[in-house]
Amino acid sequence: MYDVIALGEVLIDFTPAGKSENREVQFEQNPGGAPANVLSALAKLGKKTAFIGKVGSDQFGHFLNSVLQNNNVNTKGVVFSKETNTTLAFVHLDDQGDRSFSFYRNPGADMMLNEREIDLKMIDHSRIFHFGSISMTQEPSASATLKAVSFAKENGLLISYDPNLRLSLWEDLNHAKSIIEVGLKFADVLKISEEELEFITGTIDLNMGSEYIYERFHTKLILVTLGSDGCFYRLGFNVGKCSGYEVEAIDTTGAGDAFLAGILYQIIEKDYLLSDLSLDDVNQMVSFANAVGALATMKKGAIPAMPSIEEIHELYNKTNCVKKGISLNE
Ligand code: ATP
């Protein structure tokens, strides 16, 4: 039995790594892909995880497969394509340290996963199904994702969703919005950034935006991540906020994935049913997840930066929730 199974992209992130003798930027090969990051973080915390996705049968694909295996993520669901190369992304940092991505995916193996290649038995043997929207940007992986998440929902798995909007991967932003909304129909746990919330709801007001999502999609737990400010959350008609921890952040890659892993870890560990959650439970879960996210910013990269349970507890004991549930009806 797997605690968490995730379907989606695993790819190479080429990240800037200094300058060459000729003063040109040099890039370093790093494993990337949000679903794979979430699983690696959970596996480091001792949870049983499995990945479903497609890579090229090239050096990059074999590298990614072995990174997952070395991080104790089951790779039975990884498909190797002979026709299509592994997807590559280059990460660019501007003067403020903000990241942008250029993807080399015309096509990339991740988007060529088709529904016949998915082993539904693996999903049936799992407790939580996690997915995002990058696998829904193109066919055939869009249909494959929807088939897998529909199967997971019908079979009673808890569904975790991170839209993880990458504007450059969509040809048409109206299409992006409608597909992201299709994903929302399945989600029990939603992790979303402020920018994504605004993209979907048209408002920067966290209360209003999350209320719109709750009323329209009945999402049980909505977590809006706020970078160093922590996280705003909604449980039904109640909302709250946990501030972030003060840490020396050097690279925020994968912080959102680490945060989400912290939430899923708590759900599994405490055997929580979302329908029975209290606001105190959510405060405590979010505070824990903030610690996981904060620690992930203190090292370079995503997978190598995922913290151990000891590191999390050390930071988490400096508990920091500033507001408890504020009912919108009050
Ligand atoms: P992505 O990884 O896709 O960019 P995201 O935008 O959701 O995801 P953030 O909001 O940047 O990610 O971070 C997720 C969580 O990690 C935050 O909610 C917070 O708990 C923690 N975090 C991120 N950056 C910092 C920071 N500089 N200091 C402390 N905690 C941080």
Q: What share of the chain is helix, strand, coil (3-state, %, to 5)?
A: 40, 25, 30
pLDDT at 97: 62
Quote the CA–CA distance of 314 and 312 in Å, as a whole number.
5
Which region holds residue 245: left if phi is over 0, alpha if psi is between -120 and 50, else beta?
beta
The parent domain of residue 185 ranges over: 2-9+32-85+106-327
Which CATH number is 194's domain given? Answer: 3.40.1190.20
Q: Among 53-57, 222-226, 301-305, whose mean pLDDT is lowest? A: 301-305
CB of residue 287 inside a 6 A radius of ligand 1: no
CB of residue 84 inside a 6 A radius of ligand 1: no
CB of residue 288 inside a 6 A radius of ligand 1: no
Is 216 part of any domain? yes
Is 80 part of any domain? yes
Query: Could you identify the atom of ligand 1 that is nearest to the CA of residue 34?
Result: 3
317 backbone dihedrals φ, ψ, rounded to 5°: -65, -20
Rounded to an integer, the average pLDDT of 284-288 is 94
Residue 326 CA: distances (Å) to CA of 138, 210, 218, 245: 40, 14, 19, 21
Taking only the tens place, the pLDDT of each residue in 154-195 is 999 999 999 999 998 999 999 999 999 999 999 999 999 999
pLDDT at 329: 38
Find all residues with CB under 8 Å of 131, minimum gap 6, and list them. Answer: 6, 7, 8, 35, 145, 148, 149, 159, 160, 161, 183
Confidence of residue 325 (pLDDT cuts 50, 70, 90): very low
pLDDT at 319: 58
pLDDT at 12: 96
How far away, in angstroms, is 76 Cα from ligand 1 center? Answer: 30
95 backbone dihedrals φ, ψ, rounded to 5°: -60, -25
Residue 96 CA: distances (Å) to CA of 10, 32, 93, 119, 292: 27, 22, 8, 44, 24
CB of residue 290 inside a 6 A radius of ligand 1: yes
CB of residue 193 inside a 6 A radius of ligand 1: yes
Taking only the tens place, the pLDDT of each residue in 11-50 is 999 988 999 999 998 999 999 999 999 999 999 999 999 9
CB of residue 293 inside a 6 A radius of ligand 1: yes
Is 17 part of any domain? no
Taking only the tens place, the pLDDT of each residue in 252-283 is 889 999 999 999 999 999 999 999 999 999 99
- What the block records as the tokens of 95 is 């003067």
pLDDT at 101: 85
pLDDT at 316: 86
pLDDT at 91: 86
Q: What is the DSSP letter of 93?
A: E
- What the block records as the tokens of 327 is 């009912």
Torsion sign (Cα): 263, 265, 266, 271: positive
Is 99 part of any domain? no
Is 223 part of any domain? yes
Rounded to an integer, the average pLDDT of 136-153 is 98
Say whether pLDDT at 321 is over 80.
no
pLDDT at 327: 44
Residues in the chain: 330
CB of residue 243 inside a 6 A radius of ligand 1: no
Q: For a substitution probing ligand 1, which of 134, 252, 299, 319 has the most ligand atoms within 8 Å of its CB? A: 252
pLDDT at 322: 47
Rounded to an integer, the average pLDDT of 285-311 is 94
Nearest CA to ligand 1 atom 25: 228
Is 79 part of any domain? yes
pLDDT at 93: 75
Quote the CA–CA distance of 283 and 75 in Å, as a whole number.
34
To the nearest whole number, what is the mean pLDDT of the chain? 93
DSSP H helical ranges for 132-239: 141-154, 173-184, 194-201, 206-217
How far away, in angstroms, is 193 Cα from ligand 1 center? Answer: 9
CB of residue 142 inside a 6 A radius of ligand 1: no
pLDDT at 320: 53
Confidence of residue 317 (pLDDT cuts 50, 70, 90): confident
Cα–Cα–Cα angle for 123, 125, 129, rounded to 5 degrees: 40
Measure the N-to-C terminal CA separation of the chain; round to a whole number of Å.
43
How far away, in angstroms, is 27 Cα from ligand 1 center? Answer: 23
Residues 221, 225, 231, 235, Cα dihedral to 10°: -10
Q: What is the DSSP letter of 115?
A: G
Taking only the tens place, the pLDDT of each residue in 85-118 is 999 999 887 776 677 889 998 899 999 999 999 9
pLDDT at 8: 98
Rounded to an integer, the average pLDDT of 289-295 is 96
Query: Could you identify the atom of ligand 1 that is nearest to the CA of residue 257?
Result: 2
Say whether pLDDT at 318 is over 90.
no
How far away, in angstroms, is 227 Cα from ligand 1 center? Answer: 4
Is 67 part of any domain? yes
Is 59 part of any domain? yes
DSSP H helical ranges for the chain: 34-44, 59-70, 120-124, 141-154, 173-184, 194-201, 206-217, 255-269, 279-296, 309-316
Give strand pairing partners of 19: 25
How far away, in angstroms, is 57 Cα from ligand 1 center? Answer: 33
Q: Number of folded domains in the chain?
A: 1
